[in-house]
Amino acid sequence: MTREIIQGDALTDAEKEKLFGWGEDIFDADIFNLRWRPKDVHFVLHVDGEAVSHVGVLQHEVSVAGRGIKVGGVGAVVTPPAWQKQGYASELMRHAANYFETTSVEAGLLFCLRRRVPFYGSLGWQLVSHPVLIQQPSGEKVSPLEVMVLPLGGQLWPDGEVRLNSFPW
């Protein structure tokens, strides 16, 4: 079995279909009616040439208690059902964290459903305990999703309200 992580700035149509075309509302987030920001870099894990898992990332500056912090945003973490429970998403999440270590970001930041918190927590991510304000077409609002951070380089995540100044990812 050959495994390869391919990094790119876009997904092929075949990758999109394989990774995201297996169900309706695969992230269970349609209920929130949010506008999402696209990711800039995509990591796709291929096993024997087949796309089996995906993590998208971007870089962005958020404000925490008025202080600018450059974060590496993580989103669109997905593994189709036939490939789940084999550690593929965990492998890509560790890869994304290593990628962030080579850039100038201070922390990773992601949005997730409450039931996904244990998965990300097992990889070192921590819940943000203060409100996180996100942009939407109707204006700024508190994120209805959980927000988690992965402090990098031995730094601590600061206390205080977070302003994303962007659509969530």
pLDDT of residue 30: 96
Instruction: Give this prediction's pTM.
Output: 0.96
Q: Which of 146, 90, 144 is nearest to 114 (CA)?
A: 146
Beta bridge partners of 44: 6, 54
Arithmetic mean of pLDDT over the chain: 97
Task: State pLDDT tens for residues 65-78.
Answer: 999 999 999 999 99
Domain map (residue ranges) of the chain: 3-163
Per-residue pLDDT band for 52 (boundaries 50, 70, 90) equals very high
pLDDT of residue 35: 98
Q: Are strands 132-136 and 67-78 parallel, antiparallel or unpaired?
A: unpaired
Q: Are strands 50-64 and 162-163 parallel, antiparallel or unpaired?
A: antiparallel
pLDDT of residue 69: 97
Task: State pLDDT tens for residues 82-132.
Answer: 999 999 999 999 999 999 999 989 999 999 999 999 999 999 999 999 999
Scanning 26-153, the segments in alpha helix (DSSP H) are 88-101, 117-121
Q: Position of tokens 């939407």?
A: 136
Q: Which of 6, 23, 1, 5 is nearest to 82 (CA)?
A: 23
Across the chain, which distance is largest between two alpha carbons, in Å? 49
pLDDT of residue 91: 98
Residue 121 sits at φ, ψ, to 5 deg, of: -60, -35
H or E element, residue 16: helix 13-20
The CATH class, in words, for 3-163 is alpha beta
Per-residue pLDDT band for 46 (boundaries 50, 70, 90) equals very high
pLDDT of residue 72: 98
pLDDT of residue 9: 97
Distance (Å, rounded) from C-alpha 3 to C-alpha 5? Answer: 7
**Is there a contact between 151 and 157 (Cβ–Cβ < 8 Å)?**
yes
Q: Which of 23, 85, 83, 94 is nearest to 51 (CA)?
A: 83
pLDDT of residue 133: 98
**Is there a contact between 68 and 101 (Cβ–Cβ < 8 Å)?**
no
Q: Which of 27, 62, 55, 60 is nearest to 132 (CA)?
A: 62
